[in-house]
Amino acid sequence: MGSEWRGVQLGEVASFSSGGTPKSGVAEYWDGDIPWISASSMKSVFLSASDRTLTAQGLEAGSRLAEEGSVLLLVRGSELHKRIPIGVATRSVAFNQDVKALQARDGMTQDFLLYWLLGNEQSLLAKVENTGIGAGKLDTTVLKNLQVYLPELPEQRAIAHILGTLDDKIELNRRMNETLEGMARALFKSWFVDFDPVRAKMDGRWQPGESLPGLPADLYDLFPDRLVETELGEAPEGWEVRPLDTIADFVNGAACQKFAPEEAERTLPVIKIRELKGGITSATERVRLDVPEKHRAYDGDVLFSWSGSLVCDLWTGGDAFVNQHVFKVTSSEYPRWLYLYWTKHHLDEFQAIAEAKATTMGHIKRSHLAQARTVLPGPSVLPRLSRFLEPLVTRQVALRSESSVRADLRDTLLPKLISGELRVPDAEQIVARAT
């Protein structure tokens, strides 16, 4: 650490504000346009949306507004036993009593405050107390007494700029991925579920040489002129109804294999439901490298967890081992986008089945894959449709892989920069080489 950095207590350089919850039974307080941040909303660094919202009445009656740029820190909840949710409000938001809003003051920039907290997550985890009801708690007095070493303001800004540039690109990629995913799912639903091109032909709304939204004119002849009755109801004439498990192989993962301590450097991370939802973390289990190829996942593979929280997604966490509660979904006959989006199409019904049968952790069986139906055109049609859908999937994989690299770089630089172990010019060179 540089000798010019000064030591202070966090409470000297940051103010703390508490949020609240309006009465749940008052309809006028809820479903407004003000995001209300709670533990369930704090899944990323950038916070602007939530599963529940307040009206202006609700805010005044029982909550508090955190202005754009406020640093939000979860201080109570079961999540604190695993991680410390920290984020920055990218718009004005309300927040509940389990969250603190922090504002920098007295020689500390707001951005440096954010990254100081993010870089000290392990230290914060060590301060978590048990409440006796399963939740964790970060005492405000303990937080205010934390020792902080601060460089001068220009260096704080430079440190935050390096880290913020990486985070901004990660967030941009995330938004681009949302757009790409929305486009792909909309095209798939239009072509394979709603059969919009066929209906447009039947209604006389589409003629040869014309384009429709989402469908170029040169694909006109790929779609039939009418719908016929099938076991699933109406479907394009000449298209085939097939069980989901016949268009892809759903290969179940396996139990973890233990490894000796001396083999620790020659291991793979294990993909469980948590990793499929949130990626590889320091808490991820690892197994020996010599595992069967059928249980290994690589960037771009389709994975589907069949128990607990059912999730189907593209994997972009690098070479890894698939746990027995996750399917690796592959096909030598059909394109990736087809079995990816057909599986996603059936997720809601799979989730309902799992919840209805749940005594502890709900799940589906292979028989449910066989009962789920897909509708397929002839083999000559799919390659031409792939020209439009597969690039959307491939681009998602590329963006997410790029974000993983940047996130790893940020996580490597973060503790070194905020402690003074690594200085700004050296960090700038590392980022330039890596990106």
Two tokens at 149?
């070493």
Higher pLDDT pick, 73 / 269: 73
DSSP per position, 210-257: --BTTB-GGGGGGS-S-EEEETTEEEETT-EEEEGGGSSEEEE-BPPP
DSSP per position, 40-71: GG-SSSEE---SSEE-HHHHHHH-EEEPTT-E
Two tokens at 363?
């799940």
Instruction: In whole angstroms, give the CA distance from residue 246 to residue 347.
Output: 17
Domain 245-376 sits in CATH at: 3.90.220.20
What pLDDT is recorded for position 283? 76
- Please answer whether residues 150 and 4 qualify as being in contact, where contact means their C-beta atoms are separated by less than 8 angstroms: no
Burial 132-151 (b: 16+ CB within 10 A, else e): eeebbbbeeeebeebebebb
**Segment 83-111, tens digit of pLDDT:** 899 999 999 999 999 999 999 998 999 99
Per-chain mean pLDDT for the chain = 92
Instruction: In whole angstroms, give the CA distance from residue 347 to residue 354.
Output: 10
> Cα 274 to the chain's mean position, in Å?
11
Please state the pTM of the whole predicted model: 0.86
Instruction: In whole angstroms, give the CA distance from residue 54 to residue 30.
Output: 4
**Segment 215-253, tens digit of pLDDT:** 677 788 889 999 999 988 999 999 999 999 999 999 999
User: Is residue 360 scored above 80 in pLDDT?
Assistant: no
Mean pLDDT value of segment 296-311: 93
- Name the band, by pLDDT with cuts 50, 70 and 90, for residue 259: low
Rg (CA), the chain: 25
Instruction: In whole angstroms, give the CA distance from residue 291 to residue 285.
Output: 14
- Please answer whether residues 18 and 64 qualify as being in contact, where contact means their C-beta atoms are separated by less than 8 angstroms: yes
Asked whether the domain spanning 245-376 has the same topology as the one spanning 6-150, the reply is: yes
Nearest Cα neighbor of 387 from 215, 204, 148 is 215
Could you please state the CATH topology (level 3) that the domain comprising 6-150 is classified under: Adenine-n6-DNA-methyltransferase TaqI; Chain A, domain 2 (3.90.220)
Domain boundaries, the chain: 6-150, 152-194+207-219+378-435, 245-376
- Name the band, by pLDDT with cuts 50, 70 and 90, for residue 361: low
Higher pLDDT pick, 252 / 258: 252
% of the chain exceeding 70 in pLDDT: 95
**Segment 14-25, tens digit of pLDDT:** 999 999 999 999
Instruction: In whole angstroms, give the CA distance from residue 99 to residue 365.
Output: 40
- Name the band, by pLDDT with cuts 50, 70 and 90, for residue 204: confident
